[in-house]
Amino acid sequence: MSHQIGAVKTFQKTDHGVKIITVDNKEVQLSVYSPTVVRVRMAPVNTEVSASYAVVQEATDGFKSITDNKDSIILATDSLKIVVQKNPLRINFFNSMGQWLDGDAPSLGISSQGSEMTSYRKLTDDEKFIGLGEKTGPLNKRELSYVNWNTDAPGYGINQDPLYSTLPFFMGIHSNSVFGIFFDNSYKSFFNFGGSTDSSMYFFGAEGGPINYYFFGASTVTDQLKDYTWLTGRMQMPPLWSLGYQQCRYSYMSQQQLLDVAHRMRQDSIPCDVIYCDIDYMRGYRIFTWNPETYADPKAMTDTLKALKMHLVTIIDPGIKIDSNGYEPYLTGMLHHYFARYPDGQPYTGSVWAGRSHFPDFTRDEVRKWWGENFKVLIDNGVTGFWNDMNEPSAWGQDIPPLIEFGEGNNTVTLKKARNIYGMQMARATFEGTKDLLNGNRPFVLTRAAYSGIQRYSAMWTGDNNPTDDHMLLAYRMINSMGLAGEAFDGVDVGGFLGNPSPDLMVRWMSLGAYTPMFRNHTAKGNTSHEPWAWGEENEILMRHSIQTRYRLLPYLYSSFYATHLTGIPINRTLAIDYTHNEKVYDQRFENEFLFGPSMLVAPVASTNNAEQIFLPDGNWYRFGSDKKYTGNSITWVGSPLNDLPVFIKEGAIIPMQNVVQSTADNGNGIMYLNIWYGDNANSFTYYEDDGTTYQYEKGKYYSRGIDFNPQQKEILLNAAQGDYVSKFRNVHLVLHGFPSGLHLTLNGENLKTMSNTEEQSVDFSNSNGKIAVQW
Ligand code: GLC
């Protein structure tokens, strides 16, 4: 039998909002976090409130006004009006102009069946839904349903669900408005966006725990993302090297083989910053060990990599092999009872790569601390990046007994509640531990499983994909959608993990890889090599060129990462962020398109298509490379040969570039190529730079410089630099696209020279704190 929530019996003001008790003994708390963020928690009276793994903010001191009417209670913040209907209890959200945003379905509201609670909500005819992170399917999730239950999903189908992670933040879009909901509940949860309900309602809920959601009332997707990442935290700056090209495979079987790959990168002038060790570097898959035969001298290996200006990332799975023969992680874990356990206290045993294994209980502080300290054996050997895999957690057969326990004393929970946060807590332990050990340097952490808030600790990738065009295109929808859920630093196994891509697909995917926040090429055992030289000379040239493009764009990309660090707006942006109310954005022909940083539009195209119909949103656009001009808000056929992925530049774009370097540790020729594309609207961009490796930027050691393009004043301005860091660029070359003629350059008002609109101009960059202006 299901139970529908009843009428309001009492309500009282609390420190953070209001508390309502219903006639059927449900307690509903509304708490204000900011004028646009309000939490709604509904549970049986006296249910204990558990801490959130995702949320890093505290509630503030409540509503601006509370009005108790006969039939309803009206709650207001500066931005929201919330109407709580008393009988039966229904909650509806309006913006400050009185426009309805979202609320309970009139007929159902919050309902429960045993321990399972569901929020049934009103659906409007024109409503669309975006978000939920790493989910398959289209951009607009209307009429679809999803489950969050972190799952190892090798070779997942392009509509398969659930996958590896749980990022339960979504946005609804209707009648020129938006709202957001973050359902912070780690039990197995479900979301149904109007599938099979005659379009009268949508709903979400979970098998256990309260209905506990944060309602976001900001009026644009951009502000929604700022609020969501304010609530759940933003990423710190990743090491610059992790934005370089990353070469992986399962596995480089020996340190010699791995070094051969590294040397070949340099020999073939393929820029590269990172090589990976997959599971075979270990002794019999025992984590925190090295294979004494095949990886006999890891320090010598990382020293060589260092000399080549490359970094090593090693994989670490959570399962610790049962081996009492001197294997420290196992012995220590057993001694201190650090493993997830059966109700009788015996550690849970599951089988993974290492065979029978136990699984650390990452929900406990002391276990996370111990876990972190174990990385010494990697860090002492020069490893700087840490790849957390199999942390759904995965055990062969998948179905781990639901009664397995985590936590201690009153905080003991079962797998039902812990599963979806397990991977995140592993990544957290890895990040916090390695950050401590790296003496002020930034670790790079990569995780497969996750929960909301993961952006504070780790990058993510989309798991074991397939070498097909469909999968490649799906990857960009998933990455865009993960960006909508606060996780901006994402990658995909370029080329596809399981099986062999066609050479054309490999080439195309590498060209898209350049426009992926994390650019990693990876493949499984037994597959054709994925390194660029394995595909013949012509293809190698194309792939080299794609990787070079990535390196040329690094000043723009790193600056965009800094913007993400400050605001939460992702690097790869579905067009739904900037062009939310344009229907074309959701058209399945165009839904894979995204902005890379603020000003570049990338249209992923199947490797089989030499031409493609694309949608360009409002404004004028230039094709990257040829500068051919296009008028926006239009659908156009464009050429998409393998050597020219359709990438477009928004008019007014300010894109700092550098010359091609082989590693992010190379300073290059000291020249910034400041590319600006002419347009009618003003634009500005903040160039950002720091040492790329430490946290000194948090103490002001950075270089940032606002660059303005003002067509009305006919002026480009480089404003005074800020911060204590000296830029690696000594000069800036202005590379102007589509500008009128008659340009002249001034420094602090003094005329430097007149220039043509095509020649590149050199300006002293590093020593000038003054204003550099170009006028026409
Ligand atoms: C999992 C990972 C994959 C890795 C393999 C071996 O399948 O998803 O990336 O290569 O395990 O460690």
Q: What is the pLDDT of residue 644?
A: 98
Q: How many helices (H) and strands (E) does the chain have?
A: 12, 52
764 is catalytic: no
What value does the mean pLDDT take over residues 441-450? 98
Dihedrals phi, psi of 743, to nearest 5 degrees: -85, 140
Mean pLDDT to the nearest integer, 678-703? 97
The pair of three-digit structure tokens given for residue 451, joined into one six-digit string: 């929960």
Residue of 449, 535, 581 whose CA lies nearest to 128: 581
Active site residue 143: no
Cβ(278) – ligand 1 distance below 6 Å: yes
pTM for the model stands at: 0.97
d(CA 308, CA 382): 13
Is the CB of residue 445 below 6 angstroms from any atom belonging to ligand 1? no
Q: Is the pLDDT of residue 6 over 80?
A: yes
Q: pLDDT per residue over 676-688, tens digit each?
A: 999 999 999 999 9
Calculate how far, in angstroms, residue 527's C-alpha sits from the geometric centre of ligand 1. Answer: 13
226 vs 37, 219, 277, 390, 561, CA distance in Å? 11, 11, 36, 31, 14
Q: 20 has which bridge partners? A: 11, 28
**Is residue 280 in contact with ligand 1, taking CB distance under 6 Å?**
no
pLDDT, tens digit (0-9, with 9 covering 90-100), for 258-275: 999 999 999 999 999 999
Asked if residue 754 has pLDDT above 70, the reply is: no
Q: What does the pLDDT read at residue 742?
A: 72
Residues in the chain: 776
Q: Round to whole Å and give the CA distance between 569 and 184.
A: 21
Nearest-CA residue for ligand 1 atom 3 is: 464
Angle, CA of 491, 646 and 225, to the nearest 5°: 45
Q: Which of 104, 127, 464, 591 is catalytic?
A: 464
pLDDT at 762 over 70: no
pLDDT tops 80 at residue 58: yes
Measured over the CA atoms of residue 404, residue 407, residue 410 and residue 416, the dihedral's sign is negative
Both structure tokens of 711 = 């067509």
- 1-5, 224-228, 448-452, 483-487: segment of lowest average pLDDT: 1-5
How much is the average pLDDT of 283-288? 98
Contact 455, 232 (CB under 8 A): yes
Task: Say what the pLDDT of residue 316 is.
Answer: 98
Question: What is residue 753's predicted lDDT score, i.e. its pLDDT?
Answer: 61
pLDDT for 49 beyond 70: yes
Looking at per-residue pLDDT, the higher value among 774 and 80 belongs to 80
pLDDT at 758: 54
pLDDT of residue 743: 72
Q: Does residue 457 carry a pLDDT above 70? A: yes
Q: Is the pLDDT of residue 417 over 70?
A: yes
DSSP secondary structure of 353-387? TTEEEE-B-TTSHHHHHHHHHTTHHHHTTT--EEE
Q: Could you give the CA distance from residue 258 to residue 663 in angstroms, rounded to a whole number? A: 17
Residue ranges of E strands in 404-548: 405-406, 413-414, 444-447, 450-451, 459-461, 490-491, 520-521
**Catalytic (active site) residue 227:** no
- Looking at residue 211, its pLDDT comes to 98
pLDDT at residue number 265: 98
- Residue 773, pLDDT above cutoff 90: no
Cα 310 to Cα 87, 195, 520, 540, distances in angstroms: 65, 49, 14, 20
Question: What is the spatial distance between Cα 17 and Cα 675, in angstroms, rounded to a whole number?
Answer: 50
pLDDT(759) > 70: no
Tell me, using a 6 A CB cutoff, whether residue 171 lines ligand 1.
no
Please say if the pLDDT value at position 296 is more than 70: yes
pLDDT computed for residue 144 by the predictor = 97
The answer, yes or no, to whether residue 648 has pLDDT greater than 90, is yes
Q: Which of 134, 280, 323, 389 is an active site residue?
A: 389
What is the reported pLDDT for 770? 60
Q: Looking at ligand 1, which residue's alpha carbon is closest to its atom 10?
A: 250
Closest C-alpha to 442, from 620, 694, 258: 694
Closest CA to 121 of 203, 26, 14, 42: 203
| Edge-to-edge strand list for the sheet holding 731-737 | 654-657, 671-677, 731-737, 761-764
* pLDDT of res. 740: 80
User: 389 in ligand 1 pocket by Cβ < 6 Å?
Assistant: yes
Q: Return the best residue to mutate from 248, 388, 390 for the ligand 1 pocket (most ligand atoms within 8 A of CB).
A: 390
**Residue 531: pLDDT band by 50, 70, 90 thresholds?**
very high
Tokens 């090491």 belong to residue: 239
Ligand 1 contact, 250 CB (< 6 A): yes
Question: 251 preceded by cis ω (within 30°)?
Answer: yes
Confidence check: pLDDT of 352 > 60:
yes
Q: Are 516 and 557 in contact (CB under 8 A)?
A: no
Name the least confident of 218-227, 532-541, 711-720.
Answer: 711-720
The average pLDDT across 341-346 equals 98
Q: Comparing C-alpha atoms, which of 203, 192, 216 is closest to residue 142?
A: 192
Mean pLDDT value of segment 130-146: 98
Rounded average pLDDT over 370-376: 98
Residue 363's nearest CA partner among 236, 462, 451, 447 is 451
Question: What is the C-alpha to C-alpha distance for residues 172 and 163, in angstroms, rounded to an integer?
Answer: 22
Token couple for 228: 């969501």
pLDDT of residue 775: 73
Counting ligand 1 atoms within 8 A of each CB, the residue from 134, 497, 527 with the most, and so the one to mutate, is 497
Helix/strand/coil percent split, the chain, to 5 = 20, 30, 45
**pLDDT surpassing 60 at residue 714:** yes
Ligand 1 binding pocket includes 461 (Cβ within 6 Å): no
CB of 152 closer than 6 A to ligand 1?
no
Residues near 63 by beta carbon (within 8 Å), at least 6 away in sequence:
17, 18, 30, 32, 75, 76, 77
The atom of ligand 1 lying closest to the CA of 248 is 10
What's the CA gap between 728 and 725, in Å, rounded?
Answer: 9
The whole-chain average pLDDT of the chain stands at: 95
Please pick, among 152, 323, 392, 531, the residue that the annotation labels catalytic: 392
